[in-house]
Amino acid sequence: MTPRRLPPALALPALLTALGVLLPLSYLVLRALGAQGEELREIVFRSRNLELLRNTLGLALGVLVAGTALALPLAYLAARTTFRPRRLLMLLGALPLALPGYVGAYALIAASGPGGTIEAATGINWPGPSGFWGALGVLTLFTFPYLFLNLHAALRTQDSALEDAARLLGRTPWQTFWAVTLPHLRPAWLAGSLLVTLHVLGDFSVVSLMRYPTFSAAIYQQYTAAYDRVYSAWLALMLLAVTGLTLWLEARLMRGVYLTRVSPGGARQLARFPLRGWAPLAWAFVLVLAGAALVVPLGTILYWLRLEQGPSALVGLLEATRSALGAAGLAAVTTTVLAFPLAYIGNRYAGRWARVTERVAYLGYATPPLAFALALIFFVLRSAPDLYQTFALLILAYTLHFVAEAIGPLRTSLGRATPRLEEAARVLGAPPGRTLWRITLPLMRPGLLVSAAFVFLSVLKELPLTLLLAPTGFETLSRNVWTYTEEAQYAAAAPYALVLAASGAVLTGLILRRER
């Protein structure tokens, strides 16, 4: 069936998603414009803004470069060489995603410096990470998987005939890599880069712990300490402008990339590059990376866990685990439910509406969470104060922010439930509802599960929305890790960090298995 018009049952969720993101944001603008002439000029032209901008952009660029330097060799090793065991590389490339950045920062801070894990274990006083390089290191270690997963998929599915053709036309392997392989990675790299950049722009926890002021760190500081509403609104707007610039740049660079396979490519096995003499170097790279991204953080958590825990620690842990899992579970369901119509429109309808819907879904994801939370607070306090600090608002914020994450796997699985099958069901006498229930949804089950797992994991790790929007007394794993780390109570933070890391690892493992 090729229906021209979008049925209201599908258009409504898209409209509500757009309203849910845009209304609070527009309120942010109103709020920012609340300042008067002189004050306004003072805020906008504060020299600190320029410093924040420089820091934010510098950090984003640095993480991108460093992340690529880690992700590209690792992806190439996993996809194109004879390195074994390959599964180790996949785990190394994906597992750091399970560890939230602030847990990583916590672990690295708690590991170094006087009295840290490294000194206790080796006697060497390892300098603690801080400032630009500290933030760069931690953010790189825990966001490079976005690049790795994209690059790996692209490398693995590349048409081997292209490289063969280049070799037959007289290029050396090295020239072929530069002239054929690398250009083909551009879309994958851009997609991964966008995720990394959005993550860096939105992160306030790592930069705060490393004392490196960026827009997000400044917003958080304003919110907790100074509480200058007009200035925080302005900071949020500036951050939004930087995000908008990033999105525009990505779209711009993506334009004109035509890498569709023109020849009828067979599913030929890609030739793997024999490592031989390079093997020790590859192993050194892998081991150092594994040490920094996985062993040190986990070791530190376990080390601090040995130290004496308060008597009420276990009760608190159980309480926080329960509320964290509850919130994540509920948000996973609501987000997947909201994502379904959006994915359906994107997959089944051509034209302007489908494109707009897709953009709408990514709006909430691209909006830096602190800016979004702030906008929601302003908006709710003015229009529905009863909602402020309620569980419902928290779940709504999670849903609007993470809906884009759920759309990808759903769209992929909609490819399995083709329109032809739905038509077959209709002709066999099944009305639309029964068709959805008996045919479309069962066929989409793997996608639904992966979507829900993605969102579940993200909500579990999520910090800024939780900090700003959760009801008072609502303690989650992420919130407690953050609070204790901020107060330098590393031992108290350890159990929460461990449970978080463990559930993250289990979920990441499940997603990896499903997606294979």
Partner 1 sequence: MVLGEWKKEQERATPPILEIENLGKRYAPGLPPVLEGLNLHMKAGELVTLLGPSGCGKTTTLRLIAGLETPDTGRVCINGREVTSPFLPPERRGVGLVFQDYALFPHLTVLGNVCFGLHTLPRAKRVVRARETLALVGLTVFENRYPHQLSGGQQQRVALARALAPRPALLLLDEPFSNLDAGLRHSTRQEVRAILRRSGMAALLVTHDQEEALAFSDRLVVMRSGHVEQVGTPHEVYAQPRTAFVANFLGRSNLLSGTAWGLQARTALGDVLLAEPAHGPVLVSVRPEHLAFARPGEDGVPVTILAREYKGHDVTYTVRLGQQELLVHDASDTIWPEGAGARVRVTRAARAVR
Binding site for partner 1 (CB under 8 A): 1-2, 416, 418, 420-421, 423-431, 434, 438-439, 442-443
Q: What's the CA gap between 8 and 313, in Å, rounded?
A: 51
For CA atoms 80, 83, 88, 93, the dihedral sign is negative
Q: Please, which residue, 280 or 429, has the CB nearer to partner 1? A: 429
User: CA nearest 357: which of 435, 410, 416?
Assistant: 410
Residue number, 267 or 427, with CB nearest to partner 1? 427
CB of 433 to partner 1, least distance (A): 10
Say how far apart CA 78 and CA 82 lie, in whole Å: 8
Shortest reach from residue 413's CB to partner 1, in Å? 12
- Looking at the Cβ atoms of 218 and 439, the one nearer to partner 1 is 439
> Is 104:297 a contact under the CB 8 Å cutoff?
yes
Q: Which CB, 84 or 438, lies closer to partner 1?
A: 438
Q: Are 228 and 161 in contact (CB under 8 A)?
A: no
CB of residue 445 to partner 1, shortest distance in Å: 8
- Compute the least distance from the CB of residue 442 to partner 1, in Å: 5
The rounded distance, in Å, linking the Cα atoms of 101 and 97 is 9
1 vs 225, beta carbon nearer partner 1 = 1
Report angle CA 126, 479, 473 to the nearest 5 degrees: 145
Cis peptide before 85 (omega within 30 of 0): yes
Closer residue to partner 1, CB minimum distance, 28 or 444: 444
**Residue 153: CB minimum distance to partner 1, A:** 24
Show the tokens assigned to 464: 């800024």
Q: Are 438 and 495 in contact (CB under 8 A)?
A: no
Cβ proximity to partner 1, 439 vs 468, nearer residue:
439
Closest contact distance (angstroms) between CB of 412 and partner 1 is: 15
End-to-end Cα spacing for the chain = 31
Helices (H), 255-390: 279-290, 296-306, 313-348, 352-366, 369-383
State in angstroms the smallest separation of the CB of 13 from partner 1: 23
